[in-house]
Amino acid sequence: VRRFRYDHLVARMRKVPSAFSPVIAVDRNIAKPLYRQLYDSYRAMIVGRGLHPGQQIPSTRNLAIELGISRIPVLTAYAQLLAEGYFEARAGSGTFVCSTLPEQLAPTERRDVPSGGVRRGSRPVARRTKDLPTGVNSPWVKGFGAFTISHPAYELFPFQVWSNLVMRHCRNPSTSALNYGDSLGSEELRDAICTYLRTARGVRCDPQQVMIVAGSQQALEISARVLLDPETPVWVEEPGYWLTRRVLALAGCRMIPVPVDSEGLNVAVGIKRCRKARAAYVAPSHQFPLGATMSASRRLQLLDWAQSSGSWIVEDDYDSEYRYGSMPIASLQGLDSGSRVIYIGTFSKVLFPSLRTGYMVIPPDLVDRFLAVRQALDLTHPHLYQAVLTDFMREGHFARHLRRLRLVYGERRTALVDNLHQQFGSRLELHGAQAGMHLVASLPKGFNDQEIAKRAALKKLWLWPLSPTYLGKPLRQGFILGFGSTKAAEIPDHVQRLKGVLVAERVVTEQN
Ligand SMILES: Cc1ncc(COP(=O)(O)O)c(C=O)c1O
């Protein structure tokens, strides 16, 4: 295997900054001198904002080589642009578009054209994309701090170990590490994941059935493309995970909301609403957001339904690693004798979400279909972090980190539950605190969670409202409260702040 050493290149790159060459065309066959053509092109790009103030421009030598002309006209043009204040030279760093330019440009020379030109005529886009919510404007989506959901305890992550592994795999990559990889993902990582899933989650799997993907999100997307046609009826949990719904909306499916109770998805209602649904999207270990764990009888009912109606079950096992006060619950996939379950897992909750790495366990007869779809999307998962993750798992760091997180999240969760009880008594009803990194506190009747959440955000309290997780009319209003990223010692203060907000909203009184 060939290995590359490029430390010397990195060192050189640091010393000699280099700039992109702008799109400049010169023509030797026209009367206009070359230096003038260069000058005019640069000036036009600066005025038209194609080059922005402070941006570096290539050296005269590099530009001359790239354009295949002598250096003299380039030197002449640069000298003039410098003299007129379009360029500025910085000793030892190179030449830059002048950073104080915008104020100096005559207003008549500005062309405030939207990027991509003037928008005229009809501009059709797919109807399905129009139905998707655009942007993520709600303040709680961007907020970072107490009660935000999906944020693990970053401060506990073993960065030293991780960065050593990154360096190990960056320094001397093999040719195969740089090439396109297997569309299922790296075999070593699939193998490590199988060991973990068989042992810790009771999943039945072989590495040939595992596909490494860009988080659960991509797994949902690929599963929808393989299993579902437009207009296909699909069961979704009500309330449920909004990003599953986005995927299904984009696929043009007909979503059938099936209510969730303390035993998880109500299969009997699903059958009554649409027995012939093609698939059911469920999170049986820790339903999102209400947190129920699907009972054994519901699991068997769901598997029976899938077998008898020829349907699929997509199991989102996003945070089942964390259970408090009860034994771990094996996956639904592990109970399935009919190969009807597509199992999805993620490293977002156990490592960090920007890793964008998850996995799916696919029924063996469908692997080819999943591979065909994956190859149409992004071919394969980037190699570097697969290699890092493989060593992280094989060398025991993953198991150690998980053990630590379980303890710490257990403390955080207990602190949150105790403080909520102390401050609010039975005025806020708690749901789903037995597992995961969030719980739900539902509000008494008559309050609007989104309105309260907007006002709380002004005080930097990030409360995810419950009502948008319903496809139909919300049965409950409340907040999804994350506790993964807040230290146990800080929780009493944050609950006190929450009380301040809820007293102001007249949800509770000071005496509660
Ligand atoms: C229900 C559910 N599934 C999956 C995920 C994780 O998604 P991803 O792996 O794409 O980061 C989340 C994250 O919050 C979630 O709430």
| pLDDT in 10s for each residue of the chain, 512 residues | 556 555 555 544 545 567 888 888 899 899 999 999 999 999 999 988 889 999 999 999 999 999 999 999 999 999 999 999 999 999 888 999 998 865 456 555 555 555 666 778 998 889 888 878 776 678 888 888 889 998 999 999 999 999 999 999 999 899 999 999 999 999 999 999 999 999 999 999 999 999 999 999 999 999 999 999 999 999 999 999 999 999 999 999 999 999 999 999 999 999 999 999 999 999 999 999 999 999 999 999 999 999 999 999 999 999 988 998 777 789 999 999 999 999 999 999 999 999 999 999 999 999 999 999 999 999 999 999 999 999 999 999 999 999 999 999 999 999 999 999 999 999 999 999 999 999 999 999 999 999 999 999 999 899 999 999 999 999 999 999 999 999 999 999 999 999 999 999 999 998 87
Specify the 3-state DSSP secondary structure of 133: coil
* Ligand 1 proximity of 347 Cβ (cutoff 6 Å): no
User: How wide is the angle at C-alpha 251 spanned by C-alphas 128 and 231, nearest 5°?
Assistant: 90
pLDDT at residue number 5: 57
- Ligand 1 atom nearest the C-alpha of 217 is 10
H or E element, residue 88? strand 87-90
pLDDT at residue number 10: 52
Q: Which of 102, 113, 116, 117 is closest to 52 using CA atoms? A: 102
- Ligand 1 atom nearest the C-alpha of 358 is 9
* Ligand 1 proximity of 281 Cβ (cutoff 6 Å): no
* Ligand 1 proximity of 352 Cβ (cutoff 6 Å): no
From 241, 246, 317, 359, the mutation candidate for ligand 1 (largest count of ligand atoms within 8 A of CB) is 241
| Residue 134 per-residue DSSP state | P
What's the gap in Å between 187 CA and the centre of ligand 1? 24
In the block, residue with structure tokens 């071919």: 379
Q: Which residue's alpha carbon is nearest to atom 12 within ligand 1? A: 318
From 319, 357, 481, the mutation candidate for ligand 1 (largest count of ligand atoms within 8 A of CB) is 319
Under a CB-based contact definition with an 8 Å cutoff, are residues 199 and 340 in contact? no
- Cα separation of 413 and 439, whole Å? 9
What's the gap in Å between 217 CA and the centre of ligand 1? 7
- Ligand 1 atom nearest the C-alpha of 219 is 10
What's the gap in Å between 106 CA and the centre of ligand 1? 51
What's the gap in Å between 504 CA and the centre of ligand 1? 33
Contact residues for 128 (Cβ-Cβ < 8 A; gap 6+): 249, 250, 252
Q: Which residue's alpha carbon is nearest to atom 6 within ligand 1? A: 216
Q: Which of 323, 503, 340, 495 is closest to 421 using CA atoms? A: 495
Q: Which residue's alpha carbon is nearest to atom 4 within ligand 1? A: 318
Strand 438-442 relative to strand 341-346, pairing: unpaired
pLDDT at residue number 7: 55
What's the gap in Å between 464 CA and the centre of ligand 1? 15
pLDDT at residue number 201: 93
Inter-CA distances, 203 with 193, 395, 442, Å: 10, 22, 33
Q: Is the peptide bond before 158 cis (omega within 30 degrees of 0)?
A: no
Contact residues for 197 (Cβ-Cβ < 8 A; gap 6+): 203, 205, 331, 343, 345, 361
| Residue 315 per-residue DSSP state | E
Under a CB-based contact definition with an 8 Å cutoff, are residues 253 and 232 in contact? yes
* Ligand 1 proximity of 246 Cβ (cutoff 6 Å): no
Give 47: exposed, middle or buried? Use CB within 10 Å, 0-12, 13-18, 19+: middle
What's the gap in Å between 357 CA and the centre of ligand 1? 11
In the numeric block, which tokens belong to residue 186? 């790296």
What's the gap in Å between 242 CA and the centre of ligand 1? 10
* Ligand 1 proximity of 181 Cβ (cutoff 6 Å): no
* Ligand 1 proximity of 348 Cβ (cutoff 6 Å): yes
- Cα separation of 446 and 129, whole Å? 34
pLDDT at residue number 430: 97
In the block, residue with structure tokens 């530009």: 63
In the numeric block, which tokens belong to residue 68? 């295949």
Question: Largest Cα–Cα distance of the chain, in whole Å?
Answer: 88
Using a cut of 0.95, tell me whether the model's pTM lies above it: no
- Ligand 1 atom nearest the C-alpha of 288 is 1
What's the gap in Å between 215 CA and the centre of ligand 1? 8
* Ligand 1 proximity of 217 Cβ (cutoff 6 Å): yes
- Cα separation of 503 and 410, whole Å? 28
In the block, residue with structure tokens 């437009």: 230
